[in-house]
């Protein structure tokens, strides 16, 4: 019995072990980054093995060292930098995104992830205002990531834009895109992305603005 009890922990304990906020640990458990289940009483339990795997992940280590849980900014804080997460597995395109987006008037903080799994880690640690993603990626692809994100109510206001070279038929074959997510074609339409980002940035100061 003692060995079984040590095989899992509470969400709060998982957050303490990982050095992240409770909200981040809850997000990761809901999205599947952390293996979790609920007891008959409705209490969430986290697999300690999945916590250990995250502790060994260099992406988590580097992020939590630079931004401890107490310093993670709450989404909706108009004083923090406007942030955009780009999910793209081609390193060259990631660099193009970073160089171009960083020159936009709102001077966004640009983060990158190379697959859906890493993107979920970044979202949990940094909660971007806007997410731009490709669909065809190794590991967890964009289709899986988007379905996971759309299940999480607390992320319903995060603006998501797909930029993909896939045809409409290929997107349908992949399972389609959740409702409310805009799809733009490659080559990367930076002018359209900037217009969208400007509306999202403006909405942080004027909540009544309705994003399209």
pLDDT in tens, 118-151: 999 999 888 899 999 999 998 889 999 999 998 8
pTM: 0.78
Domains in the chain: boundaries: 2-70, 83-205
Is residue 48 within 8 Å of 85, Cβ to Cβ?
Answer: no
Homologous superfamily, domain 83-205 = Response regulator (3.40.50.2300)
Kindly give the residue spans of alpha helices, DSSP state H, lying in the chain: 2-5, 11-18, 22-31, 48-55, 58-66, 91-101, 116-126, 142-150, 168-173, 190-205
- Residue 204, pLDDT score: 77
Give the span between the Cα atoms of 112 and 101, in whole angstroms. 12
pLDDT in tens, 15-63: 888 888 888 888 888 888 899 988 888 888 999 999 998 888 766 666 6
Pick the more confident residue, 19 or 160. 160
pLDDT in tens, 92-103: 999 999 999 999
Choice among 65-69, 106-110, 159-163, 187-191 with the minimum mean pLDDT: 65-69
On the question of pLDDT at 66 being above 70, the answer is no
Helix (H) or strand (E) run with residue 113 in it: strand 109-113
On the question of pLDDT at 5 being above 70, the answer is no
pLDDT in tens, 103-126: 999 999 999 999 999 999 999 888
Q: What does 138-194 look like in DSSP terms, one character per residue?
A: SSS-HHHHHHHHHT-GGGTTSEEEEEE---HHHHHHTT---TT-EEEESSP-HHHHH
On the question of pLDDT at 64 being above 70, the answer is no
**Buried (b) or exposed (e) across 128-147, using 16+ Cβ within 10 A?**
bbbbbbbbebeebbbbbbbe
* CATH architecture of the region 2-70: Orthogonal Bundle (1.10)
pLDDT in tens, 172-211: 999 999 998 999 999 999 999 999 999 999 987 665 545 5
């Amino acid at each position: 019995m003692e060995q079984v009890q040590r095989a899992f922990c509470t969400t709060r304990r998982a957050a303490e072990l990982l050095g992240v906020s409770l909200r981040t640990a809850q997000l990761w458990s809901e999205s599947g980054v952390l293996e979790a289940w609920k007891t008959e009483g409705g209490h969430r339990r986290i697999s300690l093995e999945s916590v250990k795997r995250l502790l060994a992940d260099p992406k988590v280590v580097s992020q939590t060292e630079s931004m401890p849980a107490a310093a993670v900014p709450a989404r909706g804080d108009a004083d923090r930098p406007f942030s955009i997460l780009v999910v793209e597995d081609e390193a060259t395109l990631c660099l193009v995104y970073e160089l171009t987006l960083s020159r936009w008037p709102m001077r966004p903080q640009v983060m990158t992830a190379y697959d859906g799994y890493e993107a979920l880690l970044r979202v949990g640690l940094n909660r971007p205002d806007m997410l731009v993603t490709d669909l065809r990626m190794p590991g967890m692809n964009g289709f899986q990531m988007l379905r996971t994100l759309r299940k999480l109510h607390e992320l319903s206001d995060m603006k998501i834009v797909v930029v993909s070279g896939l045809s409409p038929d290929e997107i349908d074959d992949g399972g389609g895109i959740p409702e409310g997510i805009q799809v733009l074609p490659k080559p990367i339409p930076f002018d359209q992305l900037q217009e969208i980002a400007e509306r999202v940035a403006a909405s942080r100061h004027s909540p009544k603005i309705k994003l399209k």
